[in-house]
Amino acid sequence: MNRFEQLAAPGVRKLQPYQPGKPIEELEREYGVSDVVKLASNENPLGPSPRALEALQARAADLARYPDGNGFELKQALSRHLDVEVEQITLGNGSNDVLELVARAFATPKDEVVFSEHAFAVYPIVTQAIGARPVAAKAKNWGHDLEAMAAAVTERTRLIFIANPNNPTGTWVDAEALERFIAALPEHVIVVVDEAYFEFAADPEAGVEGYPDTLQWLGRYPNLIVTRTFSKAYGLAGLRVGYAVSHPDVADLLNRVRQPFNANSAALAAATAALLDEEHLARGLRVNREEMVRLTDAFERIGLTWIPSVGNFVALDLARPAAEVYEGLLREGVIVRPVGAYGMPNHLRISVGLPEENERFLRALENVLG
């Protein structure tokens, strides 16, 4: 029992902290294994662009200085890259930071926040932390059921989170259905479309038909906020930088609650450089396409099913409690992600790695399954 619990804000009392993927060093410490493969946090297996690393190093000389609190250069680069106005962009210490800014700027303990079952764990956390009421709509085929979400909207709904593609399921909603959903929302509702895996789903080579170009909608729906990140396709998860694109008036409010230097100087410099290295991005997307096929072909051979994914990860159905398979994989030196906390006790989420990492995982999986 935590002796200070009664003093904590009511929302915080019931809060379960976010469970990240197990760090490699922790597995090495606890299990005495080495040469660990981690396919647990949807990181880019190629790492960041070499140009981002160069920019990072160049920045090191200036670490005594505070970062540019307005992130001028990165915003300029994003503005050009995305064809939006600088005033529409809000930078965050990862896009998780932005999700929290949205909750703090718009929701109060009187409000409801709607998201989907099996959706990203950060939505209920930021909702409960501010004391608002989380409302989880039922999913359909593991993905967002926009009709169920629309039905969950009440007069008290202030905020909706939609992950597209969703983590941990890899499912996605198409442009037509999503726009119909947004267009029908009452004016008092802010909708966040979380596009942490945008680059994978929008990759023309991936052939995802009808994946929405939500930035095009911002002019029509001023209550829409699109969030993206440098943590996944750009390989900068360790630096923490993400952003929102919205109506400038929404961005103005997000900036009021934002900490003045939430995006650090190393992150700003590296992200700006990463954005310009389209070749590196394309390499990562190609590895992801090819290796997703390697993984799912092997699942099929083994006789396992999975949820079709347009991200850089896949939820594998073990058709039995996955916790012991997860443990078995740890003993083999392979870290994947259990998703029991997402209401998916029979699944494991596997991030797509390099060819040799995926092979290691598949061998370990076959060993564990016997």
Q: Which residues bind ligand PLP (CB under 6 A)?
A: 42, 94-96, 120, 163, 167, 194, 196, 229, 231-232, 237, 242
Residue 223 and residue 190 in contact, taking contact as beta carbons nearer than 8 Å = yes
Looking at the DSSP bridge assignments, the partners of residue 316 are 306, 348
Q: Which is nearer to ligand PLP, 47 or 328 (CB)?
A: 47
DSSP label at residue 193: E
Half-sphere CA count of 332, side-chain side, radius 13 A: 23
Q: Which is nearer to ligand PLP, 163 or 254 (CB)?
A: 163
Residue 90 and residue 244 in contact, taking contact as beta carbons nearer than 8 Å = yes
CB of 342 to ligand PLP, least distance (A): 11
Decide the pairing of beta strands 112-116 and 133-137.
parallel
Q: Which is nearer to ligand PLP, 44 or 157 (CB)?
A: 44
CB of 351 to ligand PLP, least distance (A): 10
Tokens for 304? 């396992």
Q: Which is nearer to ligand PLP, 236 or 364 (CB)?
A: 236
DSSP label at residue 137: E
CA angle 346, 162, 337 (to 5 degrees): 30
* 258 phi/psi in degrees, rounded to 5: -70, 140
Q: Which is nearer to ligand PLP, 196 or 318 (CB)?
A: 196
Tokens for 145? 């059921």
Tokens for 24? 């490699």
* 211 phi/psi in degrees, rounded to 5: -65, 130
Q: Give me the residue whose beta carbon is nearest to ligand PLP.
A: 94
Tokens for 244? 């929102």
CB of 227 to ligand PLP, least distance (A): 7
Residue 353 and residue 42 in contact, taking contact as beta carbons nearer than 8 Å = no
CB of 115 to ligand PLP, least distance (A): 11
* 65 phi/psi in degrees, rounded to 5: -85, 145
CB of 320 to ligand PLP, least distance (A): 26
CB of 306 to ligand PLP, least distance (A): 17
Residue 288, H or E segment? helix 278-302
Q: Which is nearer to ligand PLP, 196 or 270 (CB)?
A: 196
Q: Which is nearer to ligand PLP, 116 or 358 (CB)?
A: 116
CB of 98 to ligand PLP, least distance (A): 8
CB of 343 to ligand PLP, least distance (A): 16
Q: Which is nearer to ligand PLP, 36 or 102 (CB)?
A: 102
